[in-house]
Structure 1
Amino acid sequence: MFPIRDHNPSGRVPFVTYALLAINIAVFLSYWFTLRSGYELGAFYYTWGLVPAQLMQGHGLGGLITHMFLHGGWLHLAGNMLFLWIFGDNLEDEMGHVGYLLFYLTCGLAAAGLQVIGNPWFDGPLVGASGAIAGVLGGYLMLFPRARVDVLLIFIIFFRVFSIPAWIVLSVWFVVQAFHGYAATEDGVAYLAHIGGFVAGAMMVLPILLRRGGRAFWARNEGMPPHPEAKYKLSPSRIPRVPKR
């Protein structure tokens, strides 16, 4: 089950979100088709990714920023860009272009910081925008907990799109990250970075929420977007309906 869109259109053109999408995709294509061997690709990641062990020795500081624009494969890139596409525009709408860009980069730094603190002498490169995007998810949860999100459920051969509140989608996502982070799951995913970015994003959006009235902001809109939500025609289910008698 994963989200495919929300019903929360932005009130302005999200130039920064579009730019981040374009930069991430362009950077990925620039090295994915030019580096011919696994050795070249690995050396590239070590040079431009974030290596905690090097950072602890005072080296590779630039990787704190550059690692946010690298990805380890097509699925890694597609998953991150999908979440950024769905949730990024609304935060940019609330924060403004410059504020949102600073927010995004700060979440990425917070995510990297927690990952380094959790495993400071790890000698492999960390790459991906997921820490920064996790911050976007945390901020979205704070501002629009009841905005409707369409998710695609795939169960063997059964496919269904349905709408659920954003707080369910994002809370489940965070719980999964927290579980794997607590269990120290070793599958190549930087779960601590996801946790750090999410928490940082939620905390940085808190002042914005308070300026808009805190609970009063939620009460005015019932936790939903402060503007008319987008309408989509969902595909009907093939499961027959049994009427009540």
Structure 2
Amino acid sequence: MQPQPMYDLHPADGDRPVTVDRREGPYGEVVLRRRGGGPSGQAVFEIIANGCFLMDTSDGRSERLLIRTALDALPADRPSPALLIGGLGVGFSLVEAAAEPRWGRIAVVEREAAVIDWHLDGPLAAVSAGALADPRTEILHTDLVEWLRTGPETYDALCLDIDNGPDWTVTEGNDGLYSPTGLAACAARLAPGGVLAVWSAQPSPAFERSLRNAGFTRVRTEEVTVARGVPDVVHLAVRGA
């Protein structure tokens, strides 16, 4: 039997982050940190991969937009569309999907065992427990790039959020996802008329061109204003019939 991880759940000291859990895996270091949680306010959890901030539980609007815009781009009469979410993260995208009865099968690909653990029996269970219990939900512990290349399933929507965007990847191996070969793999996993939605921390006109060059249609970008800096965005594209 594997030992259960020990999480540091002591309140953070003001805005100073506290490391709740730290793991070394095949892709490098992944860390769960917490800010707040004492008398001053609600705790915010952050995921850091190889020193790169990925996401936290402070907002989640753009992660939810990733799911909503993909569904809105599908034909309204498509019954029980199948959804693949690339990256479990802090769980906002999965929670948004599970709250929508129109979705059929909901598969979530996550390569980091630590992230899955944090949701199954760790601090992030407070976010995602209900969505994980949904009978439509399946967690796939595998690498997204490899799954898109070799997986047997097709989906009506791919909602991908594994990097800070096409121009800011977490690991070098993720670069291939946004290349012509990677976009061809995405198209192959989509049913005709299916939707590809990609989260990014900043707009990428170059990625929009790559989507068009890969044969996707109805390419557009949805923005979510953030408190400081450039907006978060969702790049959307549709596979031809």
Superposition TM-score, scaled by structure 2 size: 0.27
Identify the structure with the greater strand proportion.
2
Q: Which protein, 1 or 2, shows the higher relative CO under an 8 Å CA cutoff with sep ≥ 6?
A: 1
